[in-house]
């Protein structure tokens, strides 16, 4: 499953870059927009460049889908949802 195909519109990408919302869940858990780091989701191994990512204290990064599936977060915070749309 590849999300990062050449079909992604560059205008959309610029829009994403402007929306660098981040959200601290606890002292150790934080959702942020990954604009530059070459990281993959710990669970599904998805490429997380230009995606919202949950960082956990053990240094593992997860996509928000997996963060919810593994109960690290209940849902995507409204602030992030708004930034995505």
Q: Give the span between the Cα atoms of 32 and 38, in whole angstroms.
A: 14
Q: Select from 54, 63, 64, 72 the one that contacts Zn ion (CB under 5 A).
A: 63
User: By C-beta, is 66 or 80 nearer to Zn ion?
Assistant: 66
Strand order in the sheet with 61-63: 23-24, 30-34, 51-55, 61-63
Q: Select from 44, 57, 75, 79 the one that contacts Zn ion (CB under 5 A).
A: 44
Site for Zn ion in 1-40 (CB under 5 A): none
Which residues would be at the binding site for Zn ion (CB under 5 A)? 41, 43-44, 46, 63, 66
């Amino acid at each position: 499953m590849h999300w990062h195909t050449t079909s992604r519109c560059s205008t959309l990408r610029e829009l994403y870059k402007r929306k660098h919302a981040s959200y601290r869940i606890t002292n150790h858990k934080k959702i942020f927009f990954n604009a530059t780091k070459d990281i993959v989701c710990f669970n599904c191994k998805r490429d997380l460049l230009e995606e919202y990512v949950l960082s956990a204290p053990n240094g593992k990064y997860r996509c928000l889908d997996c963060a919810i599936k593994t109960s690290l977060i209940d849902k995507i915070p409204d602030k992030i949802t708004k930034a995505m749309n």
